[in-house]
Structures are given as C-alpha cells and as structure tokens.
Amino acid sequence: MNSELKMLIVAHKNFELPKMKNYYPILVGPKKDNIDMEGYRDDFGDNISDKNKYYCELTAYYWAWKNLTIDNIGFVHYRRYFVHPFNHFINRITRKIFHKNFLQEKLINDKNILDIISDGNTIVLPKKHYFKLNVSNSEQYEHDHPFGDYNVVKNIIATDFPDYISDFEEFSNGKGVYCFNMLICNKKLFDNYCEWLFSILFKVEENIDFKNRSDYQQRVFGFLSERLLNIWVHHNNIKIKTYNVNYEW
C-alpha cells in the first residue's frame, strides 16, 4: 500500500492554513479569484465548479475524483478539521492565550491515518451526529428540507441501484448521521464512492426544481450527499474509524 496522503481543505474565503504537511487548500465558489492563497482550484480540468452554489464542497469532490492522482485522500473544511479528543471548553480558554498552537497539536497526522486506512477498505469519518429532534433520519430531513428531494433519491436508488434500497430504508428509519462531507480514505475507494454518488445526484438534478429556493435550501446536493455517504458505507461494509471534529479555527 502506497503511503502518500493529501488532505484537501475546502475553502471559499481566505483562512489561516494549518502548519502541517499534507494539508492543501482547494478553492471553490465564485469568489475564489479574490482569495490570496495558492492551492488547488475546482475550476480546472474536468469540473462542475459552476454548480458550487448547489453542490457545496462536492465541487471539490468532483474535481479530485476526475483530476487528482494520489494514493490516499482526505477532505476537511477551512473551519472544520479532524482532531484527537480534547476538552472544547479548555480549548476556548487556551486559544485566547496560545492562539492556534494548541489546536494545531490536536490535528490528526498522516502517520496515524495511513495506519488506519492501509487495508484499502477503511474510511475515517466524523463522529456520528444525532439531531436534537428525537426523530428518524428521514423525519429530520423532512423537518429541515424539501422532502420531495429525498423521495426522488429513493426512487432513483430503487430503479438504478435496487440492491441499495434496504440500506436506504434502514438509514431512513435510523437515527444519527456522519455529517459534513468530511472523510479520509484510499483514493480508489473514494473514486468508487464518487462514481456512485454523482450518478445519483446528476439524476436528482434533472428531476427537481431547486433554483427557486432560499440560498440555504439551494445547497440541496450537499445535504443529500451527507445522507448518501452513510448509505454507501453501510451497503459496502466499509470499516469506519471516527474522529472528533473541531468547529473553530
């Protein structure tokens, strides 16, 4: 198993880059030309950059899938990172004194991760998030988003990937989601996921009216993909290792 890992930090604005090797920004969104930072961009080569308003960090996913040759890959956000466990209350106090040096030391490093994903069938995800509403995953989506989109996904899976429908139902009736579209895994595993994911999302795009919505609800494909990752991982018996996520940087 090769040992090269690139952690892509999805960003649409300037931010302070962690001082750790193998972390690289990937710039997304319509204002990327105003970002004073060198890094990858989601608008070169085969890309869907112009859909960032609707696909969120998935335009970075798509770009990496189609254009990046690497052994292992990870995705975090400019303000969300995988970290080793620590007390967030202490973190708030310590940051005021030592700025970001404390948090810097808590970032997971490539040696930790490469040992975990070396079998090619393990994925690193954020710890599962349980919503405040004591409802199922499908009920939560219905509460917070246009539920017709969810049903369109179900119909596409039933037609194109019928062997996934039981996984879809189990997820829908369950509670808890691996959120944020953050992950780390072997690139081949990531490519397999993207091929499945985008084959569904592009069909959803053809079958829903999403442009006459609030800016928040136009991010529909980001919301749906968070759920689809859970379904894909479960169906394919991918081993999961979870880490805490830091919500500040």
**Domain-by-domain residue ranges, the chain?**
5-246
111-115, 152-156, 218-222: least confidently modelled range: 111-115
Mean pLDDT, the chain, rounded, equals: 91
If you search the block for the tokens 């609800």, which residue do you land on? 217
User: What single-letter DSSP state applies at residue 68?
Assistant: -
pLDDT for res 248:
64
Model pLDDT, residue 12: 93
CA distance 234 to 63: 25
* Across 62-76, 123-137, 227-241, least confident range: 123-137
Architecture in CATH for domain 5-246: Alpha-Beta Complex (3.90)
3-state SS class at 87: coil
134 or 59, which is more confident: 59
Q: Kindly report whether the global pTM for this prediction surpasses the value 0.95.
A: no
Q: What's 127's DSSP letter?
A: P
What pLDDT sits at residue 98? Answer: 47
Read off the tokens for 202. 């592009």
- CB count within 10 Å of CB 68 equals 17
CA–CA distance, 42 with 50 (Å, rounded to integer):
9
